[in-house]
Structure 1
């Protein structure tokens, strides 16, 4: 049969079992709620400051409608439809044309977008200050930083010409007062100076400022960009999208911190594109007209030549009416020749744009081949016709074909001339851009919300990091689950105990005169230092809470621990118990004194031993801070029974620490201590030994090895996981039997309020509070 695995006490959870659960997160957040709130508030404040420091960005929108090209006005489009093609909107093509240099370059030149000028501002603070300034009235400099612009400055840079080496290089323009300025390179070298309204020409460097409103000393950053870079920058700031799919509706959006300028640039791009679109269509029509005007004289000459040849033939042969067979040949030949001539015209137009291998050209070539084959069949049918009649029919056919082609070219020329005069292109402006009323960027609410979320995430991560680095243990369940250390219970923080100690210190007599040499058997003279004088205060400095406030919440909790403590010890048969702490300041002596008092009140003979020979905290609770005790017994000056003194509490005795010794650890490892413990175990129902901190001294390990059981006193938030594990390991290596722990000074959500210190002092003096 498989038995469940039981982890030894003080063993941390293995990694595969250390699963994160929601309860752990809630516990950690609750324990470090101040950190969570503080970090979240700081990050949210930074996000708010960042959101309001960003300049407002406005977007001006214009709408265009792109229509399919009119096939009747374009011979090429009509030829495509005749060959089975369909008319497409081509919106994607038009969008790319809008972004092209031919459309954007006129806008760049018109608005001088290749020249940028901006005031030098203090990061974050400068943008905030500019929000409260009035345009045209420069705000005073903050903190005496006059080189920065703090709002209200205005500048109009009308001209800036630089050599190629300075293109894209930020230059510094400094206002000097009295409408004068100076221009500096990035190294601070002065390039030129001048007055507002005048053109300053210094060879390849030219500048003209139309308006300058700024405090003397205010600096601006001016840059002349490369023309290609300026066009690319405009293209990036433009958003061109088709509304829907195959709708032909195109939206052009321009973003800028100046909403009026955004509207003007958006409309300028629209007008530039419409003008370019119209010019493209007019150019196409002009090329067709040039081709037709060049063909008309040649076709007219061919017509005149055919007419003269027919007239000469008729004059020689006389007026002879063609036979029915000749008429049939003439009609069929005319129709074939007309179609062939029309296809040849279209092929000539296509070859002006495409290569002979283009699919449209090859389609026309295929149709021409089919028509010529039909023409050859027709010629073969009328091969036996008399030569004279056949010659007349051919000449008459040539005249009619030439007449049709000439009239068709004349009509087409007139039609294209009329179309060019009234051409509007296939692009129409539906909505012009207007001045936007509200900014589209930044999304301040979104930035602040993101800051709150980021702050909360960072706060939680900080909680995890603090736990990983410091790892303070705060709750009994956490200690039991992570370290498998059984806990007898937890003791809430007692304000009454703290205030009683404060009151007792006020009423305590002065410590003995220092230095106080102490003579111990086999030990050196050890003076009591001023830093340790407090430990020599008489009994009133540390009253036992179980006696003065028996109904305090901490004593109520100790009563429950006392019951479980007795049950555990009775089951194991232990008589000698060592109370240990991982570090100092955990309240171990407080727990020992009050626990011993409660056990004594339950009709048990209890002996307390102050094994902390270095600080003797436990002795101070029972007015035994000075005198003979454990040190003298271990030094052989008194026996075990002589070291025991009453505490004033029924069934409770104490072995005080006695005077200080030079080597406490060696004294506790003395065989006399083991013999004394055996004697006490036979005399008393329970022997409780108070010890120094485990991680600070080796005394506790020596005591734990002699005790039958060891109980570890912990303080909430005072120990890391590593400290507790290290303390348990040390005790186990020394032979100690750690049976459990007690968590002290637990701060709950509702701690009963005790009397104030003034109330306590007044009551002690016999006065009303």
Structure 2
């Protein structure tokens, strides 16, 4: 006894690789190719529509060079440098970038280009943008769909100036074009504000507006917004991209994006010129302040020099010319160095005080240096404390005179240099490349958007296929059913167009009454009398048996392969009784039963077909049997087992029709007479095949399947969900049925391919499923 299939139904088979998953995906996509293509094309079309509705964005960029400040243009810095206090030469790029973004640089550009005023036509989303792309500027297009208030392209509005009360800043105002170039302006909520004509300045209730030109159809509406000045400057700062090219290069790139290439170029160049101008003004202001400082310091230093010279001359007259000693020369030189450094730091401190408060870190640093130098000076003087007083006084005066001379000459020279440089002064910022008119938009990347939309549509279509499969999915292949439901399958039967033609023909042309076949020989040697059932051998509605009329049809060839496995499974069954069960109605269960019985009968087996589908009685029609006495009468006790059997005209094949007794089918099939009849027939025939009602529609099949040696579930390709098959198998199992396997009917000819497993494994599976 083969026990291969002991796993509960509904437990998926183990996967060795991803082949099954990929095959399921490909199959589902092939089955729902229309959905996949439709969704992909639809999303791709929406992406294309969106891509072409977006305005083309152009980018214009300029390059400026920020140089380190020239010491020659900074007299005090040069003086301090000369006196021993150096200055840094690092390029202040980061500080200059922040200056470019400052309000002082951007505000003139905002005012010049009226960036604080925005005018947007009221248009239909997406469609209005598309029509506007193909319109001619200055020639308003005709309205579509009878919507004159919307702009359809070609409209032009030039708001030259607009001033609104503080409460209306940032609020959208509605501008409606009227006849003869007139317009009306409405506030939030539709409150009328002003009404005027293009070219005129209107001032009313704190609102001032001048529209230079207005080209639009009467009734066309626009949204006008007067932004707060600070918000407009901030918006320009965010739209302006500023960054250093490289590291510590001093090369700064400015770029601006706009839907108008001329606007992008003009604004970029305007920002550059505003920055250069502001930088020059800063340098000129710094130079002017330095010159003022020098003009006040030069007279004071000259007076100090004169006093020092007078004192030195007076002392020399009193003491006479005395040659200084080596010690005195050392004292003089050291004192000069210290005094020079102290003077330089004091000048530097005075310069910084013009821009910073005394608490500034740089000024405090200078104060600390001055303190140290003063201590060194006192210490130096203490070393020469024992020198003669007269010699010491003379050296001090000589030192003071030399220091005063150096400072005076330096300041005088720098004052003259500064006055000369001021006439031709330039800033430390130079324009390397001005912005030029861009010809190619930088975005949107329409091709990329369309490709991304197509990919997104494909992914959405795959998710939709899985969703449909999860909700409405129908199983179509043997491998899929075996893997996901763990139901062993005997095989698949392709759809037969010949069967459909035979059924259509039989409905129109009735079969002629032929000679009655011989009576049935039962085990007891008795046979039903022909005269009793002759009225049932009629040409009523019939479905010709395909195995008799088209023995070489593809469906019959497939059934022959199933017969091989079926016979092997029957030999392993404890009872040679098979219940053919359909999950739902319309799966072709009676077609499979009639043809399978015919093929088995041709293999020298005595086969009895029992039509237990008392509600539909489909099996009788395949053998030209009209409604009459049959199984229902047998179960009701009106006839015995011998009288219920009728010949089919096929050698070795007999039939027990459904009968026509008016009773509840479920009650009849649950009677004890059914078990007795099956036991009686089992002694007289090699195989009994019972056609039962759909198990999910009615419970009639459950008692029949419980009495059979095995139950075979007939499925229709693409007609059942996974849950339906599982529910059908579970209902049969709960009724005590031995589910041997299944047969997949009406498979698409293109999908009907050989089972992947070898024939030996198929036979073993069928035998195992029968147990």
Q: TM-score, normalised by structure 1?
A: 0.88
Distance 1:566 1:327 in 2: 133
Deviations 1:166-205 (A, max 9, x none): 1111111011121011111231222211101011111211
Say yes or no: does 1:612 pair with 2:598: no
Q: Could you say what secondary structure the match of 1:694 adopts? A: coil
Match of 1:45 in 2: 45
Structure 1 position 636, deviation (Å): 2.5
In structure 1, what is the Cα distance between the partners aligned to 2:373 and 2:206?
A: 67
Question: After superposition, what is the alpha-carbon deviation per residue over 1:110-146, rounded to whole angstroms, capped at 9, x for unaligned?
Answer: 1010100010110111111112211111111111111
Q: How do 1:223-302 and structure 2 match up within 5 A?
A: 223-302=225-304
| Counterpart among 72, 96, 102 of residue 98 in structure 2 | 96
Asked if the contact 1:155–1:213 (Cα under 8 Å) also holds between the matched residues in 2, the reply is: yes
* In structure 2, C-alpha distance between the alignment counterparts of 1:221 and 1:342, rounded to whole Å: 63
- Is 1:133 the equivalent of 2:135? yes
Query: 2:578 matched to which residue of 1?
Result: 577
Partner of 1:67: 67
**Structure with the greater relative contact order (CA < 8 A, sep ≥ 6): 1 or 2?**
2
Match of 1:688 in 2: 689
- Which residue of 1 is the match for residue 412 of structure 2? 410
Unpaired stretches in structure 1, ≥5 consecutive residues: 510-535, 753-769
Structure 1 residue matching 2:157: 3-state secondary structure: strand
> CA separation in 2, counterparts of 1:541 and 1:352?
116
Deviations 1:670-704 (A, max 9, x none): 22222221121111111111111111101111211
Residues 277-312 of structure 1, C-alpha deviations (whole Å, 9 max, x = no match): 222222222222222222112112212322333444
SS in 1 for 2:120: strand
Question: What is the CA–CA distance in structure 2 between the aligned matches of 1:623 and 1:369, rounded to whole Å?
Answer: 129
Q: Is the contact between residue 83 and residue 363 of structure 1 (CA under 8 Å) also seen in structure 2?
A: no
How many residue pairs get matched?
Answer: 723
- Secondary structure of 1:142's counterpart equals coil
Query: Would you say 1:553 and 2:554 are equivalent positions?
Result: yes
CA contact (8 A) 1:139 1:150 kept: yes
Distance 1:332 1:240, change over 3 A: closer
Which stretches in structure 2 are left out of the alignment for 5+ residues? 512-536, 754-771
Cα distance between partner residues in 1 of 2:129 and 2:238? 24
Partner SS, residue 21 of structure 1 = helix
What TM-score does the superposition give when structure 2 sets the normalisation length?
Answer: 0.88
2:214 to 202, 212, 215: 212
Distance 1:335 1:239, change over 3 A: closer
Moved more, 52-61 or 23-32: 23-32
Q: Does 1:505 align with 2:486?
A: no
Q: Which residue of 1 aligns with 2:635?
A: 634
Instruction: Compute the displacement of 1:539 (Å).
Output: 5.3
* Cα distance in 1 between the residues matched to 2:58 and 2:506: 71
Q: Is the 8 A contact 1:171 1:185 kept in 2?
A: yes
Q: Residue in 2 aligned with 1:566?
A: 567
Q: Secondary structure at the match of 1:436?
A: coil
User: Are the structure 2 counterparts of residues 15 and 119 from structure 1 closer, same or farther at C-alpha, using a change threshold of 3 Å?
Assistant: farther
Q: Report the CA distance between 1:321 and its aligned residue.
A: 4.3
Aligned CA distance change for structure 1 residues 503 and 151 (closer, same or farther; 3 Å): farther
| 2:682 match: secondary structure | helix
Alignment correspondent of 2:156: 154
2:66, 2:93 within 8 Å by CA — same for their partners in 1? Answer: yes
The equivalences for 1:756-767 within 5 A come to none
Q: CA deviation at 1:592?
A: 0.9
How big is the shift at 1:390?
4.1
Instruction: Note if contact 2:44-2:457 (Cα within 8 Å) is conserved in structure 1.
Output: yes
Shift of 1:486: 0.7
CA distance in structure 1 between the aligned counterparts of 2:711 and 2:738, rounded to whole angstroms: 6
In structure 1, C-alpha distance between the alignment counterparts of 2:378 and 2:20, rounded to whole Å: 93
Which residue matches 1:8?
8
Choose 148-157 or 378-387, whichever is displaced more: 378-387
Deviation at 1:399, TM superposition (A): 2.8
How far apart in 2 are the matches of 1:407 and 1:438? 61
Bigger Cα displacement from structure 2, 320-329 vs 165-174: 320-329
Q: Which residue of 2 aligns with 1:669?
A: 670
* Distance in structure 2 (CA, Å) of the matches to 1:76 and 1:304: 23
